[in-house]
């Protein structure tokens, strides 16, 4: 059974240059091959995103600009991670309820996902999430 401790920060390799830095995600930079890329932007500071869990999907969240909080919940323990450096991303494992909030002005959250969109992989109601975790 996955826990919030399985959601880890991963430093993205950076090529530093006086003209600007270049973050690189290739080979084994993250522990899964990604099949989908999307991003969140223009999120009002009072809004929350997420509010769901995945049964099988892995995700890697990168704060390309600005900052935001990721609240992780495994059904027993909660943990808040603030993402605010574009060279450090957060690995989200399956079976973790997540909420994103406190978006700063101009923040951009890039998400790399291990599979294409599949509604059947989502757990969108918290009680169903708790029931899912109890079965594991």
Q: Which amino acids are annotated catalytic?
A: 52
| φ, ψ for residue 134, nearest 5 deg | -65, -30
Q: Are 34 and 112 in contact (CB under 8 A)?
A: yes
| Percentage helix, strand, coil for the chain under 3-state DSSP, each rounded to 5 | 10, 40, 45
Q: What is the largest CA-CA distance in the chain?
A: 53
Distance CA 51, CA 40 (A): 14
Distance CA 57, CA 36 (A): 11
């Amino acid at each position: 059974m996955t826990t919030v401790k399985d959601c880890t920060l991963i430093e993205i390799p950076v090529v530093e240059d006086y003209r600007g830095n270049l973050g690189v995600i290739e080979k084994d930079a993250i522990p899964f091959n990604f099949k989908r890329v999307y991003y969140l932007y223009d999120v009002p500071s009072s809004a929350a995103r997420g509010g769901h869990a995945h049964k099988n999907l892995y995700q890697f969240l990168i704060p390309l600009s600005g900052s935001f909080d990721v609240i992780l919940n495994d059904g027993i323990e909660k943990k808040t991670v603030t993402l605010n450096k574009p060279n450090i991303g957060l690995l989200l494992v399956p079976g973790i309820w997540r909420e994103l909030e406190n978006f700063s002005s101009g923040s951009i959250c890039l998400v790399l996902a291990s599979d294409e969109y599949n509604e059947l992989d989502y757990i969108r109601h918290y009680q169903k999430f708790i029931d899912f975790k109890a079965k594991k």
